[in-house]
Amino acid sequence: MKAPDVNIKDVLKKLSFLKNNLALLVPIVIVIVSLLLFIPTRILGSRLRDTVEKQSVQLGTRVDSLMRDVGSVAQAEALEEYINAYEADVNEIESLVAQTVQRELLSYNIFPDTNETSLALYEDFGRAYRQGIEAMLDRMEAGVCPTDEEIEGALKSAPRQMAQPGMAGYGGDPAYSGMGAYGGMGPYGGGGAGRRSYRMMGPLQRKIADQICLDRASRGRVYAGPADIAGYAYWDEWKFEDKDKAYKDCWYWQLGYWIIEDVTESIRAINENATSVLDAPVKRLESVDFMMKRNRSRRGRGGRRVRRRDTDSDNPVYVTDTRDAMTTPCTGRFTSDEKGIDVVQFDVRVIVNVDQVMSFMEELCSAKQHKFRGFYGDQPERTFMHNQISILESSVGPVDKQSRTHDLYRYGDLPVVELDLLCEYVFQRTIGFEGIKPQQVKDELAGEEEED
């Protein structure tokens, strides 16, 4: 390529004007120097950018990718740990639910149906039931009010001048005498409905009777007797009719026994620090029933009598719908194969200090311990927990201490009320629990569900 023909003289001539304009020389020199510096800088900047792009940026992207991968692995491990913990919680809950119905049986020779026909099986069950109720009363340190015979004997042995016309026969009617060791505790107290009123005594006679009542109140922590607890009299008078009915009787009263055990254990626990009935929070267990009685109906219920439609006994029953229920449950729970639960309703009445109403209700619904040796009694004893009571309705009423229902009882100086609770008890249908349920009961439930 031919080099351009540059005439230096011509160039100098063209630049000769700078001699006359020296002020322009400095800016022109600066521009020329800037151009000379800008070009290599652009070149170097472009190369530097390429280097940074290839090395730093790509390396950073790779690091970010590795960090994301590490984060994902950590999250997966954390999620796996959470899933494992959740699974463990579910398994533990299922185990705790199963433990609620893993309870000691009154007889390990009846459930499930052994095809035995001996009456001794059922008689042994009834005997174990009554003995169990008596043991519950002992654990509560239960006592009873004086009987008419005790009051009568005390008045007869008093000095003659203390007698009062018409009082010699006080409580003497044998129809209202005591019932043995537990003192004739019925629905209306130790004296029965036919005796003379406490108000009819003279001042000195009343003082004697009052001292007897106070002595009796100081011997126990709560008033209660077998006659106040459902099933005790039933099994005392039980007669064999047929095998199917006998098996159902045993099963339903086994359920009732567990329920009654929780009621008495609640009273024992809340009265634990009491020295006697006089300072105990719960003064008296009036009744535990599985049926509303006409003569002991709940306030506001109009005397309604509730029972399973195909029987009229006091037996506990499964509540399959409102026809079986003592009340429509606010929980909406009924015995259901779909939900896998059996529900029993019951009624409990107590005399309690007015400021201990909520405490007793909370204790009744609290978790309780029980022992378990296997459904056939052949395993080492273990201790489990259960919590199966819900209160559906409650009512509180005043107590007239001078009435014939209460005049032989001493409740202490604090005001007391009658607390009436209608509750439900829920049994989970676990495999083991269903395994011991008599076939007669299963068939009965299946027939009712089909009918419903």
Instruction: Find the farthest-apart pair of alpha carbons in the chain and give their distance in angstroms, rounded.
Output: 168
Confidence of residue 294 (pLDDT cuts 50, 70, 90): very low
Asked if residue 293 belongs to a domain, the reply is yes
Instruction: Give the pLDDT score at 31.
Output: 64
Higher pLDDT, 356 or 171: 356
In terms of Cα–Cα distance, which of 349, 316, 330 is closest to 441? 316
| Residue 428 domain boundaries | 270-451
Confidence of residue 186 (pLDDT cuts 50, 70, 90): very low
Instruction: Give the pLDDT score at 45.
Output: 59
Asked if residue 345 belongs to a domain, the reply is yes
pLDDT surpasses 90 at 85: no
pLDDT surpasses 90 at 90: no
Asked if residue 155 belongs to a domain, the reply is no
Q: Count how many domains the chain has.
A: 2
Of the candidate ranges 112-121, 262-271, 290-299, the one whose mean pLDDT is the lowest: 290-299
Kindly state the percentage of the chain with pLDDT values over 90: 52
Kindly state the percentage of the chain with pLDDT values over 70: 67
Asked if residue 200 belongs to a domain, the reply is no
> Over the stretch 365-374, which tens digit does the pLDDT of each residue have?
999 999 999 9
Region 228-252: mean pLDDT is 94
Domain boundary among 96, 111, 134: 96
Confidence of residue 278 (pLDDT cuts 50, 70, 90): very high
| pTM score | 0.73
> Over the stretch 190-232, which tens digit does the pLDDT of each residue have?
444 445 566 677 788 888 889 999 999 999 999 999 999 999 9
Q: CA-CA distance, 205 to 203, in Å (whole number)?
A: 6
> Over the stretch 155-171, which tens digit does the pLDDT of each residue have?
888 775 454 444 333 33
Asked if residue 107 belongs to a domain, the reply is no
Of the candidate ranges 74-78, 171-175, 398-402, the one whose mean pLDDT is the lowest: 171-175
Confidence of residue 427 (pLDDT cuts 50, 70, 90): very high
For all residues of the chain together, what is the average pLDDT? Answer: 80
pLDDT surpasses 50 at 133: yes
Asked if residue 335 belongs to a domain, the reply is yes
Domain boundary among 63, 96, 129: 96
Instruction: Give the pLDDT score at 34.
Output: 63
Region 27-55: mean pLDDT is 62
Domain boundary among 79, 96, 113: 96
Asked if residue 80 belongs to a domain, the reply is yes
Region 144-155: mean pLDDT is 86
Residue showing tokens 């339903």:
252
